[in-house]
Structure 1
Amino acid sequence: MRKDLKAMLYYVVLDYRYTFLIFWAILMCTLVAFTLIGSMFENSSIIVFTGPAAMIFSLICGLNLTKETFPFCIKMGLTRYRYLIGSACFVLLFAAAMSVVHLVVKNAFEFVLTTLGISGISHYSILQFLSMPETWSNELWVLAVLNLLCLTLGFSIGTVFYRYGLIGGFGTIALLFFVIVLPSTREVLAEGLLEMGEGGVTVHFGVLLLISLMAFLPNWPFLHKASTVPARAR
């Protein structure tokens, strides 16, 4: 089993390596462009929020994971159970990598802004909207959990699209949206995840981590008898 998991992780990491590098290259080029604009135009006002960009990228990667990796891994002899175990390991590693790289890029960008004395660019962190201290460890933890949530949700939704096609996928999204907007659901989520205090909003990221892990579970009933051919191609 260990050899199968190593082989799968090696394949998936290679498959996503260029996508990962291209995303961060584009983001860093964008930050460089903002820095040049801020240094050339002193009265410019630019707001930068890199955290959501990383989470959107994680969501897209999760959506494509089943379609890009499941058929090949199964054809190469990997069982569906081991595929899911390997996918779980990959999304954990990917979320951690996204968090670490984001922290490095964020701190480097802020260091450049401080060194050059550019005051027209405001770089916001997710921690600024919460009651948590702005430390590097909290930044790593929060971004890792949020990226993991985006990856697991994207993976599960992508699996539905793979198994049942566009109708099943968009139907699932519509159903999730309907459930979330229900007052009772929003009340339960607010009570379980959020806590209002004098210092601001406190988010229980331990609960959010549990939700992220639970969001991975629906993949098993969808994939344990799934074909190696996507629904829309059958």
Structure 2
Amino acid sequence: MYFFLKYLALSDLCYTSTVTPKLVTDLLAVINTISYTSCMTQLFAMHFFGGIEIFLLTAMAYDRYVAICKPLHYTVIMSRPRCNAMVIACCAGAFLHSFLMFLLTINLPFCGPNEIDHYFCDVYPLLKLACIDTYRVGILVVANSGTMGLVAFVILMLSYFLILYTIRAYPAESRGKALSTCSSHIAVVVLFFVPVLFIYIRPTVTFPEDKVFALFYTIIAPMFNPLIYTLRNREMKSVLRKVWCQKPFLIGRQIF
């Protein structure tokens, strides 16, 4: 689990870095502009790191399924070479997804006024600015982003259904431990996938609420990932408790 968590933390850092700095700059600036090259770069990077996050969450769900449903075979099935191969496959799949989204958008003609009704460059707001009929392009976007998110979400739910089916015969203590292990991952999945599916599973249409939903999977979910995972960890809670208890003592020694 920690092997995948470190890559998830890295992807979260890169993912939010494609959106948050520009958002903060626009909030402080009087005139909010972005060049065409920067817009296309932001589009590619956002879908690349977002795709990595989706595939990593799926790989982590499979890791939890093997750990709980096949514990005696865990070290054989989830060997280090296989884990490395899964991370490489996550990056390759995310690059393919992002490259296809980039190709669908970069060839669109924009006649103006080129004003994006969003806080970052995404596919649907850009399709709204195109001078041609974008119905077919929108269908391809749904087939790419929407299908990828839906398939990953179904696999995740299937893995947790199998986990719940397996632990039904466990003793209460073991069942509680298994559920505690998975609860943090389920929270992250719901916080990330529900807004993604709301935006990308429908046809080419934009709503004012899209910006609010986009905040969840671009900023809020990556920001809460470390907090959700670390506070569910017994060792991390023990360390935080020790630091918190020692703080008044250290302050008292410094004052004295």
When normalised by structure 2's length, the TM-score is: 0.27
User: Which of the two has higher C-alpha Rg?
Assistant: 2
Structure with higher strand content? 1
Q: Identify the structure with bigger relative contact order (alpha carbons < 8 Å, sequence gap 6+).
A: 1
When normalised by structure 1's length, the TM-score is: 0.29
